[in-house]
Structure 1
C-alpha cells in the first residue's frame, strides 16, 4: 500500500488547499453498480447542493458489483466508495493492512436475495435443491449464499450453480435456463418485470427474512485519506444522508437527477426500484429509531459469527476494523 500513501498525502494537500482558498474539494466516489434507482440519492446530493454546501465537488463512477469498490478504495484509486460490508470483512481478513473501513451503513437490511420463478418450482428455500442456480461470481448476494444455505439446512451439493454474467442473469431466468438467481432484491425483481415475467410468477427470497443477521452495503473510506481529511469525510456523509432524505420525502423529485446521468433509463421503473430499496433496505425500524448510518454492535458481532459458519478467518475478527462511527453525528442522521 506504499503507493497509496503518496496518493493520500497529495490528496490531503489538495483538500487542505481547497478549503483554504474557498474552492470545492474534488472527491471521486465509487458506486457499487450502474446508475439505477437506488443511485438517485447520490445524484440528488449533487444537484440539490448538499455536497456543495459541504465544500465538495463529487464525481460518481458506476461499479460492477457490490464488491467492486473495496479494492478501489483500499488501493487509493478512490478515497470513498459504496460496498458490501460482509465482503469488506473478508477482504480485511485476507489483507489485514489494507487502509479501508466502513463509516456509514446505508442498507441496514441487506437486499441479498435468491430470486426464482414459481412456474419453475421455486417458492421457498428448500425448492432450490435439485435446481440450477445462476450466480455471478462477483455478486454480493452470491457471496452470502453459503450462509443462507446453512441457515436453511439446504443440501448445497444438490444445487447446480451456473456462473453467469450480470447482463445475462435475469434473461436466463426469464427464459427458463435457470430456476433461480442470486442478486439484489430490488434490481433483479424489476429487471424480470421489464423482461415480461409476470410479477405473480416471481419469488423473492430475501436472505434477511431467512436467518441472515448480516448488514448490507455501506459507505467505505480509505482510512489514510480519512485520517487526514476528517472534515471532508464527515461533510460527505452528511450530504449523502441529505440526498437520501430528499429521496425518501419525494422519490419522483430525485428521478431527474438520475435520468440526467442515465437517459436510457425508464424513470417510472427506476422510481419503483428506489422505493423498493427505501422500504425494504434503508428505512428500517432501527434507522427510524436510531438514525441513518449507525449500526448495532451486537448485531455486527452476530454477523461475524454467521460469516464464520462458511468462512475460515485467517486472523481473529475485530469489529473495530470493519466499521467506525467517528465521522457520524451522535445518533446518526435523522430521516424523518
Structure 2
C-alpha cells in the first residue's frame, strides 16, 4: 500500500520516541536531527538500524529523523541548521557550494558508486549502452540521473539527439517498460528488486546496464553535516559517524534483521520489500572501491573525478571549486 507523506512523518516522530527509550534517559543523550534526502526505504536502513539496535544510543546520541524530497531539499535544511547531519548526493553539495556557498561538509561516503542505470528487457536486443541509440528512453523528471545522462552517452560516442527521451512519473517507468511503451528506462540500482518483480509478473527478464560499469566513476550518497554542527559539537559528530558506520556494517552482515528494524520503526514498509532494496543498495556501498580504499573513505583521485563529472554536467568551470574543500576526513573513525 502506498504511503502518504504525512503518514511517514507521523511514523518518523514515533520512531524518534522509540529511539529515545532505547537510549535510556532522553535528557542524558545528545540530540541529533538526521535529514533524509528522500522517504524511508531499504537504502536508508543504516539510520533505522542505528536507532533500533542501539548503536546510536551506545554513543550517547538520541536521533530524530526528518524525511526529505531530494538532495536539494536536504542540503537546504542542513544549510539552514534545522537538521544537523544527513544523507544526500555529494554532487549536489558540490553544485551548491559553487552557486550558494553553503555551510555544509561531507564527512563520510555512503555510495562510492553512482546508482544510475539503464534498464531494458532481455529480448529487446539492448544489452549495452551503445544499443540505446535510436531507442525510446523514459526517465523521471527530477532524477539526478538526467544531469549525468549526456556524459554517459558522450562516453559511448552518443548524444541526446540519438535517443527519444520522454519524462514520466517514477511509478510509471516499470509498467512502461514491461508493456513496451518504452524501450529503455533510466532508474537507480537501488530499485532492481522492484523492477525484477514487475518483470517476473509480466513473464519478462531485465537487462541492467549500470552507468558506473561504463566509466561514470563518482561518489554519490554521502553523510553531509552542517558546518554549525561539526564546529559547535565536533565530538557528537564524530560519535554519530562512528555509530552510523557500525550500522552500515551491520546492515551488510544482517540484511534481514536490518529490514526488520526498518519495518519496526516504519511499519508501512514491508520487510521483504526493504530487504530487497538493501540487497540492491549493497553493490553501491561494498565493492572493489571499498576493498581498496575502506568503508566511508573519500579517496582523493575519485573525489576529483566526481567533481570533474559534476562540473561537466552542470557546465561549471573546473576551477570553480576545490573538491577537497567539500570534505572532512576528521570525523570518520579509524
Band of TM-score, shorter chain: 0.7 to 0.9
Secondary structure class of the residue paired with 1:195: helix
Structure 2 residue 294 is the aligned partner of structure 1 residue 313 = no
Who is 1:161 aligned against? 165
Query: What is the aligned counterpart of 2:116 among 102, 107, 112?
Result: 112
Structure 1: distance between partners of 2:197 and 2:70? 20
What is the CA distance between 1:120 and its match in structure 2?
4.2
Secondary structure class of the residue paired with 1:213: coil
CA 196–207 in structure 1, closer or farther in 2 if over 3 Å, else same? closer
What is the CA distance between 1:49 and its match in structure 2?
0.9
Who is 1:39 aligned against? 44
CA 153–75 in structure 1, closer or farther in 2 if over 3 Å, else same? farther
Structure 2 residue 68 is the aligned partner of structure 1 residue 63 = yes
Who is 1:230 aligned against? 234
Which residues in structure 2 correspond to 1:134-283 (within 5 Å)? 134-187=138-191, 189-197=192-200, 201-278=205-282, 280-283=283-286
Structure 2: distance between partners of 1:34 and 1:156? 30
Equivalent residue pairs, number:
307
Query: What is the aligned counterpart of 1:288 among 268, 291, 313?
Result: 291
CA 227–306 in structure 1, closer or farther in 2 if over 3 Å, else same? same
Asked if structure 2 preserves the Cα contact closer than 8 Å seen for 1:174 and 1:192, the reply is no
Structure 2: distance between partners of 1:127 and 1:288? 32
What is the CA distance between 1:87 and its match in structure 2?
2.0
TM-score, L = length of structure 1:
0.83
Who is 2:7 aligned against? none
What is the CA distance between 1:268 and its match in structure 2?
2.4
Q: Which runs of no fewer than 5 residues in structure 1 stay unpaired?
A: 1-20, 331-336
What is the CA distance between 1:241 and its match in structure 2?
0.8
Structure 2: distance between partners of 1:199 and 1:140? 30
Who is 1:7 aligned against? none
What is the CA distance between 1:160 and its match in structure 2?
2.1
What do residues 216-274 of structure 1 show as CA deviations (whole Å, max 9, x unaligned)? 21011111221111112111111111111211121111121111233343322421321
TM-score, L = length of structure 2:
0.84
Structure 2: distance between partners of 1:171 and 1:227? 48
What is the CA distance between 1:90 and its match in structure 2?
1.6
Who is 2:327 aligned against? 323
What is the CA distance between 1:176 and its match in structure 2?
2.7
What do residues 61-112 of structure 1 show as CA deviations (whole Å, max 9, x unaligned)? 33334544222212223221211111221222111x2111211001112222
Asked if structure 2 preserves the Cα contact closer than 8 Å seen for 1:85 and 1:217, the reply is yes
Who is 1:51 aligned against? 56
Secondary structure class of the residue paired with 2:320: coil
Query: What is the aligned counterpart of 2:77 among 69, 72, 79?
Result: 72
Structure 2: distance between partners of 1:282 and 1:87? 19
